[in-house]
Amino acid sequence: MKNLYIYCEGPTEESFIDNVLTPYLLDHGVYSKPIICTTKRTKTEKHKGGVSDYRKIRTELSILCKQHKNETVTTMFDYYGFPPNAPGVERKSRYLLESVNDIERAVEADIDAPNLFFNFTVHEFEGLLFSNTSVFDSIASLEAVAQLQRIREQYETPEHINDSIYTAPSKRIVNVIPSYTKVSDGTMISTKIGINKMLAECEHFREWIKRIRMIAK
């Protein structure tokens, strides 16, 4: 069994890793452990969750990679809203996944830790939930589910649902289902969808999981 540390953005990602990703990866010889990013350190405590400055991410990831230098470290950060001072951000391609991959490799080169492979969730965790909108009938009306499906049909894949303060996947879900809660509803919906459906619908997510599975070989 290989250990994998997933440095993630907040409790939503932590819950997804614990409840959906870890059970799947255990069957493939990998034990994944989520670690919520530290945004501020004091002498007595750490403050966790959220991303505002790449320099903090760089510092914390460097520490984590050194602490676990003989094991693998990866990440689960939203591509949407990633700090603009990160390397590679200014070199955006007109092809979404090409831009995502370019920034990931630029961050890896900047941190320069051999046991790190940096990963984005495109555009954010809630994008994965558009892999099967019918599952939202657990928390919303059929009309709300139909609205979410109409959104999904406008885009090539769930990962292409776009990234602005008004149109990011989570914003779209909340606009249709105001009662939606990221951690509890997000975990429940993702569990019902199942990882195999997400892998089928989301190319970048699929490639990340393939790379994780390789560490057990």
Q: Measuring CA to CA, which residue among 151, 186, 147, 210 is closest to residue 20?
A: 186
Distance CA 91, CA 104 (A): 12
Q: Are residues 138 and 34 in the same domain?
A: no
Is residue 145 within 8 Å of residue 137, measured between CB atoms? Answer: yes
Query: In terms of C-beta distances under 8 Å and separation of at least 24 residues, what long-range contacts does 103-109 make, across chains too?
Result: 103/79, 107/58
Q: Are residues 27 and 134 in the same domain?
A: no
Is residue 11 within 8 Å of residue 50, measured between CB atoms? Answer: no
- The verdict on residue 188 lying in a domain is no
Give me the CATH number covering residue 98: 3.40.50
Q: Are residues 176 and 109 in the same domain?
A: no
- The verdict on residue 186 lying in a domain is no
Question: Could you list the pLDDT tens digit for every one of the 217 residues in the chain?
Answer: 999 999 999 999 999 999 999 999 999 999 999 999 875 544 444 445 567 899 999 999 999 999 999 999 999 999 999 999 999 988 777 899 999 999 999 999 999 999 999 999 999 999 999 999 999 999 999 999 999 999 999 999 999 998 788 999 999 999 999 999 999 999 999 999 999 999 999 999 999 999 999 998 8
pLDDT for 44: 40
Give the residue numbers spanning the domain of 89.
2-123+196-214
- The verdict on residue 187 lying in a domain is no
Q: What is the 3-state secondary structure (H, E, C) of 152-168?
A: HHCCCCHHHCCCCCCCC
Q: Are residues 61 and 134 in the same domain?
A: no
Q: Are residues 14 and 117 in the same domain?
A: yes
- The verdict on residue 156 lying in a domain is yes
Q: Are residues 130 and 114 in the same domain?
A: no
- The verdict on residue 35 lying in a domain is yes
pLDDT for 39: 58
Q: Are residues 46 and 141 in the same domain?
A: no
Q: Are residues 204 and 117 in the same domain?
A: yes
Helix axes 142-153, 169-176, angle to 10 degrees: 150
| pTM attached to this predicted model | 0.92
Q: Are residues 87 and 175 in the same domain?
A: no
- The verdict on residue 189 lying in a domain is no
Q: Are residues 158 and 147 in the same domain?
A: yes
pLDDT for 47: 41
pLDDT for 52: 81
- The verdict on residue 26 lying in a domain is yes
Q: Are residues 75 and 134 in the same domain?
A: no
- The verdict on residue 159 lying in a domain is yes
- List helix spans (H) across the chain: 11-16, 22-26, 54-67, 96-111, 125-129, 142-153, 169-176, 184-193, 195-201, 203-214
pLDDT for 98: 94
Q: Are residues 110 and 139 in the same domain?
A: no
| Burial (Cβ within 10 Å: 0-12, 13-18, ≥19) of residue 132 | buried
Is residue 88 within 8 Å of residue 102, measured between CB atoms? Answer: yes
Number of compact structural domains in the chain: 2
